[in-house]
Amino acid sequence: MPYTPPLDELRFLLRDVVGFGRVQATGRFAEATDDVAAAALAEAGRLCAEVLEPLRRVGDTQPARLENGVVRTPPGFAEAYGQVARGGWVSVAAPPEHGGMGLPVTLQTAVNDMMSAANLGLHTCILLSQGQIEAIAAHASDALRSVYLPRLISGEWSGTMNLTEPQAGSDVGALTTRAEPNGDGTYAITGRKIYITYGDSDLVDNVVHLVLARLPDAPAGTKGISLFLVPKRLPDESGAAGVANAVSVSGLEHKMGLHGSPTCTMEYDCATGWLVGEEGGGMAAMFTMMNNARLAVGVQGIGVAEGATQAALAWALERRQGRSPLPDGTGAIVDHADVRRMLAAMRAETFAARAIALSCAVAIDMETATGAPEWAARAALLTPIAKAWGTEVGHAVAQEAIQVHGGMGYVEETGVAQFARDVRVAAIYEGTNGIQAMDLVGRKLADGGEALFRLLDEIEAGAEAARGSLPALAAPVWQAAENLREATEWMIDQPLQERYAGAVPFLHATARVLGGHAHLAAALAGGEARRALAGVYIHRLLPAHDGLLAQARAGSEGLYALSPGDLAAA
């Protein structure tokens, strides 16, 4: 089925739910008017529907491949990427002084949402370039910025992130890639990196790698890691891609899904690189790119949820099975209560996750525009939630779309199974969702919960204000926020091990409450359909937060009561 960009929903969320008007009211983003935003989203949506989505299935059935050391992308990908680059969609939020649009991250997030729905396999390349642009702009020297930023922003070159090694996955501190000074300001980078998305491709003239490596005599662990910029081709005197660097691809991963996106094993054999940031500051510099990518990956999940929901609804409107329970029914399966339940939950979950991601983007833009520490704290708090919950929703909704299709969902010819296969990795890469949850209950509650409590104050105030007009929706949201407040107070008093044991259900419960807040705001601002959808979420989905908080407070003792041997015997 064709993809329809959710332009009305995005505009509604920006205007009435997530407070994008505050971003527009700042001097930094005053040019991002309603007209500009609407025009940008409409054009990006057209590109997604007409150019990117028709290639989604092509990327699945004709995967990227490695030929004589060169990665070949699926048919049509290069031409489609060219249209993305020429339209400026790689660089919506990139600095204008280097050729970017300079628009808010919130609009970039909305564009990423649509691109992810249309063609996740191609969007992964764009996502990584966006993160690298931000990292280079924040940490690289002026000389590196002047050469690399214009070409990354234009899409002429693409960017990657090189952290993982065979022995160093989430434990980045265990990496062994070496960086030896060459004596001329450059470094010789030697090592192997795995799981490198778009480590090479025929989409661009040059691929720019940000590589974590150790300098001689660097201390063990993350404190001894530095960040280096290593291009596939060394720039010549004019800055164009020149001679080949000592960088190669030795293999591609054979994956469950996301076949259109090449996942490479990279070999660095005394490759020439440049230091980005300070010696030993590699993780801090890379976290700039990782945080950018974490929000974008959460949005990938949301985009897939949108695509899967649209596919499931189209099927349910056409598929005739059994007798309609409705006197004026169409005879299609959409008339059946359980199918209607699944579709309503899919739409409600997607809306809530999208609201969380856009709220995170608004906080990032407000931090950029004002420098206020309260906005910085909110952006930091919402980032792991947006990443983890967006990808959890993407996975769950994709699975539900298969269920709506029945047996045909399990048959590849419908194409709906691709959504589930493609999105599964999003809960794993850019920091597994368990790591996001531990970040939430660890670093993000290190302020004594101040940032989260401020957010809960807003949720409760909003629910109080809505009691007069929508009491049946407002009361459960207020109570859920109060339950989360009490659980947060408990969590803050626990040692880290106890927090970590309940981190994932705590994050899920927090996301549930944030989703209720968003739906209540939508019900207040929208019409009957918005109120009905809010009712589905608040009465059917929000109650799960209570059980999740009980899990979060169960502690670690019961987990360790079972030894590995007990688990095997069970």
Closest to 374 in 3D by CA, of 302, 309, 447: 447
Of the candidates 9, 349, 430, 460, the residue annotated as catalytic is 430
Q: Report the distance separating Cα 517 and Cα 353, nearest Å.
A: 11
Task: Report CA-CA distances (Å) from 134 to 91, 106, 276, 440, 455.
Answer: 10, 15, 12, 23, 27
Question: 281: which DSSP letter?
Answer: -
Beta strands in 163-258 (DSSP E): 178-181, 187-197, 206-214, 225-231, 233-235, 241-244, 247-252
Sequence-ordered list of residues with C-beta below 8 angstroms from that of 495, at least 6 positions apart, any chain: none
Q: Report the distance separating Cα 570 and Cα 568, nearest Å.
A: 5
Q: Report the distance separating Cα 98 and Cα 140, nearest Å.
A: 14
Q: Where are the alpha helices (DSSP H) in 74-219?
A: 77-86, 105-118, 120-139, 142-154
306 noted as active-site residue: no
Closest to 303 in 3D by CA, of 89, 2, 5, 8: 5
CB 355 within 8 A of CB 518: yes
Q: Give the number of C-alpha atoms closer than 13 A to the C-alpha of residue 162, restricted to the C-beta side.
A: 35
- H or E stretch at 279: none
Which residues participate in catalysis according to the annotation? Answer: 430
